């Protein structure tokens, strides 16, 4: 399915930056009911896109957690992404060139505010629940502060604010891009740019996305001589992942989005962190992964303990942070059970 693109007349970032004719790419499945209150909002991760049917197929469809016969399921592309929404790749009408490094860093709240405008334009009057992992989970937590517009929350593999640990991983990736001579301060021509730096950034990220056991079980000390004689299979895998990202992503977008994630702090301008968590009133299912190196289970336990009435589910999985994209059957089962008990009874036909 090809993404739809809706253009909004204007949008203002929290920083004050203003844009006109703002594109927002999205995909949707199912139908809105007569009350237009059966929407489910799926929030995608860092290098993800709106194609939920590709990366979360095990959750999307009749009888699954994202039941397309019962719900109108929608996923919108975030600000800064190269997949159709306003980003560094958008054309600045004043110069006729892409914004590139001049594009302002959006906050996660900017993305949520833009997506609220999209939902309003589509006449969605209420979201039954919002769900997402990693950067998607950050958006889910921000939706908690949209009044009663969202009925439930399912943040997966995330904390309430970006930790120093996560910021450090992201900065190492950004520096790999900046140190590539082809970076040129971000002012490279379309189709060129810091391919080597972006590939290394992805290699660094992949290490944080998996776990000691995951890499050990899959690669161990096996050799892979097909690419580089004498190299380890682990090395070949990381190089492959780097090449794959270079083929589908943009370096300016990568910097923009990782910096956007660093802004994640639901207590910013709202008060004391613990008190802000205590003000979340929606039914919440917090999902953690026991082997997550990037967002360890302690962060999910904190959310579940501080958000009134929240439930906590911790997946026993060996793949680390990426388990929310790999162990889809387990994710589906946990979310489906919660949805049937907590959300479905509130939905009127």
What are the boundaries of each domain within the chain? 4-163+265-346, 166-260
The residue from 81, 236, 321, 323 that is catalytic is 321
DSSP annotation of 61: S
Active site residue 222: no
Active site residue 115: no
pTM of the model: 0.97
| pLDDT for residue 1 | 59
- The per-residue pLDDT string of the chain (349 residues; one tens digit each, 9 = 90 and over) reads 589 999 999 999 999 999 999 999 999 999 999 999 999 999 999 999 999 999 999 999 999 999 999 999 999 999 999 999 999 999 999 899 999 999 999 999 999 999 999 999 999 999 999 999 999 999 999 999 999 999 999 999 999 999 999 999 999 999 999 999 999 999 998 888 999 999 999 999 999 999 999 999 999 999 986 777 778 999 999 999 999 999 999 999 999 999 999 999 999 999 999 999 999 999 999 999 999 999 999 999 999 999 999 999 999 999 999 999 999 999 999 999 999 999 999 886 5
Q: Where do the H-state alpha helices sit in 179-250? A: 195-209, 212-218, 233-248
Q: Token digits for 104?
A: 């302002």
The residue from 67, 224, 292, 322 that is catalytic is 292
Nearest residue to 151 (alpha-carbon basis) of 286, 39, 309, 304: 39
In this structure, the strands spanning 4-12 and 18-29 are antiparallel
Please name every residue paired with 133 in a beta bridge, in sequence order, or none if there are none.
156
Give the separation between CA 26 and CA 37, rounded to whole angstroms: 18
CATH code of domain 166-260: 1.10.1740.110
Residues in the chain: 349
Tokens 């844009």 map to which residue?
A: 19
Active site residue 319: no
Give the separation between CA 252 and CA 104, rounded to whole angstroms: 11
The residue from 81, 134, 211, 291 that is catalytic is 134
User: What is the fold, at CATH topology level, of the domain defined by 4-163+265-346?
Assistant: Rossmann fold (3.40.50)
């Amino acid at each position: 399915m090809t993404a739809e693109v809706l253009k909004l007349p204007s949008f203002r970032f929290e920083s004050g930056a203003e844009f006109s004719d703002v594109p927002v790419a999205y995909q949707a499945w199912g139908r809105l009911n007569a009350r237009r209150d059966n929407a489910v909002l799926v929030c995608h991760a860092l290098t993800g896109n709106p194609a939920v049917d590709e990366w979360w197929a095990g959750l999307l469809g009749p009888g699954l957690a994202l039941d397309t016969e019962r719900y109108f399921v929608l996923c919108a592309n975030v600000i800064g992404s190269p997949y159709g929404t306003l980003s560094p790749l958008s054309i600045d009408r004043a110069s006729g060139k892409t914004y590139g490094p001049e594009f302002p860093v959006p906050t996660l709240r900017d993305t949520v505010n833009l997506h609220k405008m999209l939902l309003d334009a589509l006449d969605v009057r209420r979201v039954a629940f919002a769900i997402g992992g990693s950067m998607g989970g950050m958006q889910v937590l921000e939706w908690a502060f949209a009044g009663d517009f969202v009925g439930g929350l399912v943040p997966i593999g995330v904390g309430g604010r970006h930790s120093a640990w996560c910021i450090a991983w992201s900065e190492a990736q950004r520096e790999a891009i900046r140190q590539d001579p082809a970076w040129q301060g971000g002012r490279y021509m379309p189709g060129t740019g810091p391919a080597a730096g972006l590939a290394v950034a992805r290699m660094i990220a992949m290490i944080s996305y998996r776990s000691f056991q995951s890499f050990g079980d899959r690669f161990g000390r096996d050799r892979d001589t097909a690419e580089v004689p004498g190299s380890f299979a682990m090395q070949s895998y990381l190089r492959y992942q780097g090449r794959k990202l270079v083929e589908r992503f943009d370096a300016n977008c990568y910097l923009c989005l990782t910096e956007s994630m660093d802004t994640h702090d639901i207590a910013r301008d709202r008060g004391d962190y613990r008190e802000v968590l205590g003000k979340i009133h929606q039914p919440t299912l917090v999902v953690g992964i026991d082997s997550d190196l990037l967002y360890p289970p302690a962060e999910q336990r904190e959310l579940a303990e501080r958000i009134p009435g929240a439930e906590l589910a911790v997946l026993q999985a060996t793949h680390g942070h990426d388990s929310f994209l790999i162990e889809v059957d387990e994710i589906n089962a946990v979310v489906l059970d919660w949805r049937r008990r907590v959300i479905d009874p509130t939905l009127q036909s």
